[in-house]
């Protein structure tokens, strides 16, 4: 059974009981349809000024291999990912799994570690495109 639209809205607003949040998170892992509906609801909930391109920095296209670990909520495994583009404050990633907005990630790229927060996740073929807002950069 799919998550109702009103529950997705309350989930986005953080206005559900912890038990219900846990149930919805579990369902979203298994159900790509509800994940897409959640992403659409999140996009509609943003003011139109946020939907427009807000970057002042130039995006640098790239196709670099990296690895990713979810730090919040903590997940011990690392996944192989691709970094598709970078700017001063963000990255676009290609990942094998759907991630939730607000998750905190650690990206390992050669001798650098990047910490950031997931800003969006959209399906892209058999993978997902992730927008990551950079919070910290470690290494040289």
Q: pLDDT per residue over 8-38, tens digit each? A: 888 777 778 888 888 888 888 888 888 888 7
Query: Do 64 and 131 fall within a single domain?
Result: yes
Residue 16 sits in the same domain as residue 80: no
Same domain, 75 and 105: yes
pLDDT 10s digits, 96-129: 999 999 999 999 988 889 999 999 999 999 999 9
Q: Which pLDDT score is estimated for 121?
A: 93
Peptide bond between residue 95 and the one before it cis (omega within 30 degrees of 0): no
pLDDT value of position 56: 63
Bigger pLDDT: 136 vs 43: 136
Region class of 110: left (phi > 0), else alpha (psi between -120 and 50), else beta: left
Whether residues 84 and 123 fall in one domain:
yes
CATH code of residue 133: 2.40.10.220
pTM across the whole model: 0.60
Residue 135 pLDDT = 87
**One domain, residues 74 and 134:** yes
Give the residue numbers spanning the domain of 75: 60-138
Q: How far is the C-alpha of 68 from the C-alpha of 3, rounded, in Å?
A: 28
Residue 66 has a pLDDT of: 96
pLDDT in tens, 48-100: 444 444 556 678 899 999 999 998 888 889 999 999 999 888 999 999 999 99
pLDDT the model gives residue 105 = 93
- pLDDT for res 51: 40
Predicted pLDDT of residue 140: 58
């Amino acid at each position: 059974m799919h998550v109702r639209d009103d529950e997705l809205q309350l989930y986005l607003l953080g206005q559900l009981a912890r038990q219900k949040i846990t149930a919805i998170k579990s369902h979203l892992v298994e159900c790509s349809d509800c994940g897409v509906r959640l992403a659409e609801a999140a996009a509609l909930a943003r003011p139109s000024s946020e939907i427009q391109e807000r970057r002042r920095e130039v995006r640098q296209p790239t196709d670099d291999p990296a690895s990713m670990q979810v730090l919040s909520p903590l997940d011990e495994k690392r996944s192989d990912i691709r970094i598709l583009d970078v700017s001063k404050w963000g990255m676009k990633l290609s990942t094998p799994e759907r991630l939730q907005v607000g998750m905190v990630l650690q990206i390992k790229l050669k001798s650098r570690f990047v910490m950031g927060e997931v800003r969006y996740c959209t399906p892209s073929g058999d993978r997902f495109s992730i927008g990551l807002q950079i919070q910290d950069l470690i290494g040289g």
